[in-house]
Amino acid sequence: MIVRGPIASSIINAGFGTPLSGLAVELNPLEAVYLILKKKLLAEDAQELVKTLSSTLKDFWSIYSIYADLTDQGKKVAYDDELGCILQIKGEKRGYVPLSYDRPLTLKALVEKAKKLEELGWIAVLAIVDEHGTVTYYSVNTRPPSLELLN
């Protein structure tokens, strides 16, 4: 979604979007929906626009819940479609692996994702979204247990 005019500057200054030439900014669907729902970006038919934007990504609302929660905490995050994770792109490098009833994940798949994130230098975090959209975070440790823990 491209936003033009003076509002583009304030969106960029707030840390959202990719600046384009002139007074314009390109927002990804998560950013656009976040700004619309927080009433920081007004649209003619906001409900229809949110519906259209949310259809661009499988399990959009689970991923959005995590994105919005982290953004509300002041973290700068972005969704990486290839990894299927939300990456914290400023500060500590954390990769949030979404999990919800809409987005099931086997233990094997979780470990594979966590190992892939660790190989890329990210700390893996499981982000579980309940049926109300509340997110709970758990760190993912892929190291085998030490012998001391087994005794």
Dump pLDDT digits (tens) for 52-104.
Answer: 988 988 889 999 999 999 999 999 999 998 998 999 988 899 999 998 877 77
Distance CA 30, CA 35 (A): 9
Task: Please report the pLDDT score of residue 30 as a whole number.
Answer: 94
pLDDT tens digits, 1-12 = 898 888 898 998
Rounded CA gap, 4 and 52, in Å? 19
- For residue 138, which of 118, 110, 112, 101 has the smallest C-alpha distance? 110
Token pair for 34:
């976040």
- Domain locations in the chain as residue ranges: 1-56, 58-151
pTM metric for this prediction: 0.86
Cα 22 from Cα 4, distance rounded (Å): 8
pLDDT given at position 131? 87
Q: How far is CA 26 from CA 39, 70, 116, 132, 149, in A?
A: 18, 21, 29, 30, 50
Give the helix/strand (H/E) hosting 53. helix 46-54
Which amino acid is present at 145?
A: P
Q: Is 1-56 a domain of CATH 3.40.1350.150?
A: yes
Phi, psi of 20 (to 5 degrees): -115, 170
From the list 111, 125, 18, 116, the residue with the least C-alpha distance to 66 is 125
Q: What are the tokens at 50?
A: 């949110």
Is 58-151 the same fold as 1-56? yes
List of residues 6+ apart from 115 with CB closer than 8 A: 142
Average pLDDT over residues 128-132: 89
Assigned CATH for 58-151:
3.40.1350.10
